[in-house]
Structure 1
Amino acid sequence: MTLFCHNFLERYFLPHGIVVSVIYCLGLMSLWTFIAGFLSRKNRVERLSYIQESFKDYFGRDPLEINIIIVQYKEATEDFIEASWIGIGLLSVVSIASLLFIVLIAYFTLAELTKRAGIMSESTKRQQNQLMKALIVQTITPTIACFSPCFFSWYLPVFGIDGGELLQLISAVEMSAFPFFDPLSTILVLPVLRRQIKKVFGYQDPSTTNIIVQNRVQTSCL
């Protein structure tokens, strides 16, 4: 949008698009909160007692003493099993829809950039390649760090597969590290951002230094 529809972006996205984006994020937060409340209101003590011993063995904590919500697909009341499926189903729809939205935006952006590659200058083409890399990274990172751990944790028990402590540790590390690695991956992909980070730490790129020196020499000669 910034490259090819700048006027449209300024006219409609500012501020309307920003407001819609904020409302969309608040809607997702509200839906997750509603689902958590929907699951937590049904026989909480009885359900947590079911996992009490195994939870203590894994984490050394009593689940009745902390704020935690669980789902059960069997060995529970029919009412709660139904609530578990409804909750996980809604969360799956929201997660998949968000992921598809990211993939579609990336696809249409890459398609538009590829279509206009023939009329771009060399500088714009370089920016295009950098943008493509950044889009790919921005699509893959949340898929691996956020969607995959949740998906495996939700659905492995359906098939009687115990992910064990390893899955729990990997999921916890991935989701905790996501806020750090998401911007870091973009910074590493885009040269402009890389140079700024190097400058912060006092490292000057030799190629950039040579260009600055040459420009100064040319200016002094003039």
Structure 2
Amino acid sequence: MYIHWSHHYLPKIFGILSFVFNPLFMWLILSEKKASIGKYRYLLIGFAIFDMFYSTVELFVPVAIHGTGAAFVIYLADGPFFGTGHLGQLAVSIRCGCISLSYGILIIHFIYRYFVLFNTHIIEAMLRPSGLFGLFIFFICHGIAWSTVCEMFLYGDQEVFDYIYEGFKRDYNVDSHDLSMLMALFFVRDMRKRPKKIEKRLQDASPEIKRRSWMGILILTGISTYAVSLYIILGWKIMKKLADNPGVSKTTQKLHRQLFKALAVQTFIPICISFSPCMMAWYGPVLGLDLGMWNNYLGVIALSAFPVLDPLAIIILLPNYRNKLIGVVKKPIKYLNSGTSAVQPTGDSSGAATQLY
């Protein structure tokens, strides 16, 4: 299903770039001295692996978003699950669950940075096999919760298929009944403009669909708000501890600040390209905003950029990684620019010597 060149190609380009920058990021981590960031390197590697998993899901489950002024729809636009009915809907739910997984892994990073400063004994427990397993369960529960909410409250049915039928036929020339989708329908506007056959079936959104739409959106909003609030609270405590801890050496404080700065940017990225587009798509219909295909440009493309911007932010902000990468890039340039020059003949009949500069 072709919507626009930017929607068709940019997510795929970002997905491919994710498999370039994240392995590069992992190489920079593993080639760094262990003493520089300690066991925190394992969390950073985990972050890179998750980014590649995120891109894999996105490449296999390409989605599109449509707003109608009374509802929002996220549907499967292409890929191996296209046209598979409920299986495709489940794939969309899992794809949406990756947004919550990104929240979960960021929370783990903030918790780690917090306890490094406040209680190192807990860090030791976190890095044991049992602790790592607990962190994994905590992480995976975010995705399961989000996907479950999508499946229980935001599934598509005959009523929502009928409601968006005209708009999808007009804008995309597809039958909405053939699509796998998730949808929140809050109310129906302008019924007098609808054909009578549709008007009879949709005098208003049924109480049941309005109830489950509101419940689903409010639960997802709660998950998102809890994650962002935790970032802000833990971040404020970390910065305050760094400022009021004269016992820590300047070198250690500098390292903590660099790591926290990178983590802060990592947090800013999903807030801008995950949290904000979701809020716009969810609550635009509540405010009567008919965003139509603009959700694809403001949301889908932005969401696909997350796994690429994530490792780039850390590489650019951490001097060790940035300088090492610049050094690697400069080596072939220096090699190409360097030449060989022969020493002028000395007058010796035995021949001329050659020296590389």
| TM-score, with length taken from structure 2 | 0.52
Change (3 A) 1:200 1:48: farther
CA RMSD after TM alignment: 2.5
Residue matched to 2:148 = 34
- Aligned twin of 2:134: 20
State how far apart, in whole Å, the 1-side matches of 2:171 and 2:316 are. Answer: 37
Q: In structure 2, what is the Cα distance between the partners aligned to 1:163 and 1:77? A: 23
Q: Which residue of 1 aligns with 2:237?
A: 108
Query: Which aligned pairs between 1:132-147 and structure 2 lie closer than 5 A?
Result: 132-147=260-275
TM-score by length of 1: 0.80
Higher helix fraction (1 or 2):
1
What is the identity percentage for the equivalent residue pairs of Structure 1 and Structure 2?
Answer: 28
Q: Name the structure 2 match of 1:175.
A: 303
Change (3 A) 1:172 1:137: same
- 1:153-202: per-residue Cα shift (whole Å, max 9, x none)? 10111111222332331111110101111121121111112123334434
In 1, Cα distance between the equivalents of 2:232 and 2:331? 36
Of residues 55-64 and 14-23 in structure 1, the stretch that sits farther from structure 2 once superposed is: 55-64
Q: Distance in 2 between matches of 1:49 and 1:178?
A: 34
Cα 1:182–1:60 shift into 2, 3 Å: farther
Whether contact under 8 Å (2:161, 2:176) holds in the other structure is: yes
Contact 1:48–1:70 (Cα < 8 Å) also in 2: no
CA distance in 1, matches of 2:241, 2:129: 24
Equivalent pair of 1:73/1:158 in contact (CA under 8 Å):
yes
Gaps spanning 5+ residues in structure 1: where? Answer: 205-222
- In the alignment, is residue 55 of structure 1 matched against residue 168 of structure 2? yes
Partner of 1:163: 291
| Bigger radius of gyration | 2
**What is residue 10 of structure 1 aligned with on the other side?**
124
> Which residue does 1:154 correspond to in 2?
282
CA distance in 2 between counterparts of 1:138 and 1:191 reads 16
Paired amino acid for 1:34: T
Partner of 2:180: 67
Question: Structure 2 vs 1, CA of residues 168 and 114 (structure 1 numbering), >3 Å: closer, same or farther?
Answer: same
Partner of 1:210: none
In the alignment of these two chains, the number of paired residues is 203
Bigger RCO of structures 1 and 2 (CA < 8 A, at least 6 apart): 2
Long gaps (5+) in structure 2: 1-114, 189-204, 333-357
- 3-state secondary structure, aligned to 1:29: helix
The answer to which structure has the higher strand fraction is 2
